[in-house]
A and B are shown apart, each in its own frame.
Chain A
Amino acid sequence: MANISKRLQKEKIAKLLMQLSGILITGSLFLILGTILYKGLPHMTWEMISQTPKGGFYLGKSGGVLNAIIGSLYLAGLSTILATLIGIPIAIYLHVYVRQGTAISRFSKLLFDVLFGIPSIVYGAIAFSIMVFFGIRASLLGGVITITLLTIPIVVRTLDELLRTIPQDLKHVTASLGATRWESAKVMLKYIRPGLFTALLLAFGRAIGDVAGVMLTTGYSDNIPKYLDEPTATLPLAIFFQLSSPIPEVQGRAYASALILTFLILIIVLCTHFLSSKQKKHQT
C-alpha cells in the first residue's frame, strides 16, 4: 500500500487532536478551581465564615458571610427535604403502579426530563409573579418553594434511573410472595438506598448553587433568618452582589465566598462519588 503511511499519519494527527481535546476539557475544571483558589485564598479569613456582616461591610469594613452560608444551607436543606418527599412517591408510582412502556409512563418521564431543562430564571419569574399577586414578600419560604420545584425533577429522574437497574426478578419475587405493591416498593427503596442519598445530594448541590431562582424570590438580608417569612441571604447571591462592587475589599470577599461555595460543592461531589461507588458494589 503506497498510501498507508499517509493514512497512518492522519490517524496520528487525529489521535493527537483527540488527546488535546480531552486535556482541554478536563483542564478547564482545574482552571476554574485553580482560578478561584488563587484569587480566593488571600482573602479567606476566619471572620468570613464565623460572622455576619457588620456595619459598613459593603464598604469594606469588618464582618463575614455567615448569614449567606446559613441561609443557603437552610434553603437547600428545606428544598431538598420537600423535593424528596414529593419526588420519591412520584418515582415509585411511575415504576410500581404504572405499567412500564405505557403512554402515561413514557409521557411522565418525558415531562420530567423537560421540566429538568427549564431554566431556573423561568421558575423564579413565575414564582415572583405569584408572590406579588398574593402579596407575599421575598422570603425564605418563597425561595424554598421555587427551589423545590426546581429540584423535584432531579430527584425523580435520578430515582428513575436507579429503579430501572433493579432486576426484574426482584420485583417478581416480592410480588409472588403476596406483597402488595406498596410493600414491594419498600423493598425496592431499600435496594436503592445508597443511590437515594446520591439523588438527595445532587438535588442539594443544585439547590445550594442556584442564583437565578432565588434572586427574585428570596431577597437578601444581613441577618440569619429565624422564620420562614424573613428575607434570606444565599451564598451564590452574596458572591454575585459583592463581585459587582467597585470596592476591592468587597470584591476580595466575593472571591473568598466563591471559595467557600466551591468547598461546599466539592464536599457534596465527594460524598456523591463515594455513595455511587457503594451503590455499584451493592448491586454486584
Chain B
Amino acid sequence: MYSFPILQAEETPNIISLKQPHIQIKDLHVVVEGQEILKNINLSIPNNSVTSIIGPSGCGKTTLLKTLNRLLDDSKDVEISGSVLVNGEDIYAKNAEVTHIRKKMGLLSQKPFTLPMSIFENIAYGPKIHGEKDKGKLKAIVEQQLRNVGLWEEVKDRLDSSATRLSIGQQQRLCLARGLAVEPEIILGDESTSALDPISTQIIENLLMDLKQRYTIVLVTHILRQARRVSDYILFLYQGEVIEFGKTEELLLHPKHEITKQYVKGFIS
C-alpha cells in the first residue's frame, strides 16, 4: 500500500476561479455498494476549455463523469450526496428534472454505441425526442452536425443505411454529432478514443479542441500524452480524492504533490 500525504482543508487544490463556471461540484460523495468511490470532491470546471480527468484505473474517473449527468441514477446500490451545480442550478436538487439536465450534456462513451437505426435517424433522434417535427429542419440539423464532425462528405449518399456499417472511427464521430444535435452546453468524454485507431483518435482530438470554443469539455483519459495534447486543465484523481487540479503544463511539469509526480512519471498507473 502506497502512503501519501492526506490533503488538509487548507491544502485543497487551488480552485481556478473564472466567471460563472459551468460546472461546480460541492462536497460530492459517491458510495457504490458500500464502497466510497468519490470522497469529498470540491471543484469548479472552467468554461470553454478542455478539462481532463486523469488517474490510475479504479480511482473514480468515470464515476465522477457519470455523476455530472446523473447517469448513475439507474445503477444499483448507489448513494450520492453533495451537489453538482450546472449554471448555478443543483442537478441533484429534489425537483431537478433529469432529462433536461442530460440534454445539456453530450456524452461520448468509450466505444461508439450507435442506436439501432439509420445514420440519419441516429442524429435526428435527439431533436425528434425534444419535439422537432419539421422534416426540413431535421435535415438541416443532420447535415450541419455531420459537417461539424467532418463526416458529411463521407456519408451524405447513404444517410438511410444502418449506422453499424460505418467504421469504428466514423461511428464515434457520428456519436459526437448525435450528441451535438441536441445543442448541449457541455461535452463529456469517457475515454472516447480508447477503441479507435491512431488516425481516428487524432480526428476526434482535433474536433474536441475546435469544439471548446463553444462548449465546456470534460474528458476522462488514461493516456497522459492525450491529456497533454488536448486539455487546458488537468484534474488528478487518486483513490476517490482530488489530489491536484491545475493548468495542463503546470501540473505535468511541476506537480505539487508527491503522488502526482509518481503518476506523471509513470511509477503508478
A residues sitting closer than 8 Å to B (CB atoms) are 1-4, 7-8
The smallest C-beta distance from B261 to any residue of chain A, in angstroms, reads 41
The smallest C-beta distance from A14 to any residue of chain B, in angstroms, reads 14
Which range holds the interface residue count of chain B?
under 10
The 6 closest A-B pairs by CB, nearest first: A3-B131, A1-B100, A4-B100, A4-B97, A1-B130, A4-B99
The smallest C-beta distance from B69 to any residue of chain A, in angstroms, reads 16
The smallest C-beta distance from A8 to any residue of chain B, in angstroms, reads 8
B residues sitting closer than 8 Å to A (CB atoms) are 97, 99-100, 103, 130-131
Contacts of B100 in A (CB 8 A): 1, 4
Contacts of B99 in A (CB 8 A): 1, 4, 7-8
**A-B CB contact pairs (8 Å), 5 listed:** A1-B99, A2-B131, A3-B130, A4-B99, A8-B99
Given contacts A3-B130, A3-B131, A4-B100, 11 further A-B contacts (CB under 8 A): A1-B99, A1-B100, A1-B103, A1-B130, A1-B131, A2-B131, A4-B97, A4-B99, A7-B99, A8-B97, A8-B99
Cα(A18)–Cα(B119), bound, Å: 31
Least CB separation from B131: chain A residue: A3
Least CB separation from B99: chain A residue: A4
The smallest C-beta distance from B220 to any residue of chain A, in angstroms, reads 28
Cα(A3)–Cα(B100), bound, Å: 11
Contacts of A3 in B (CB 8 A): 130-131
Q: Which of A2, A3, A4 has the most CB of B within 10 A?
A: A4
Contacts of A4 in B (CB 8 A): 97, 99-100
Cα(A4)–Cα(B98), bound, Å: 11
The smallest C-beta distance from A3 to any residue of chain B, in angstroms, reads 5
The smallest C-beta distance from B158 to any residue of chain A, in angstroms, reads 31
The smallest C-beta distance from A164 to any residue of chain B, in angstroms, reads 26
Contacts of A7 in B (CB 8 A): 99
Cα(A104)–Cα(B97), bound, Å: 55
Contacts of B97 in A (CB 8 A): 4, 8
Cα(A1)–Cα(B100), bound, Å: 8
Contacts of A8 in B (CB 8 A): 97, 99
Cα(A143)–Cα(B106), bound, Å: 65
Contacts of B131 in A (CB 8 A): 1-3
Cα(A32)–Cα(B249), bound, Å: 72
Contacts of B103 in A (CB 8 A): 1
The smallest C-beta distance from B70 to any residue of chain A, in angstroms, reads 15
Cα(A8)–Cα(B98), bound, Å: 11
Cα(A105)–Cα(B103), bound, Å: 49
Contacts of A1 in B (CB 8 A): 99-100, 103, 130-131
Least CB separation from A3: chain B residue: B131
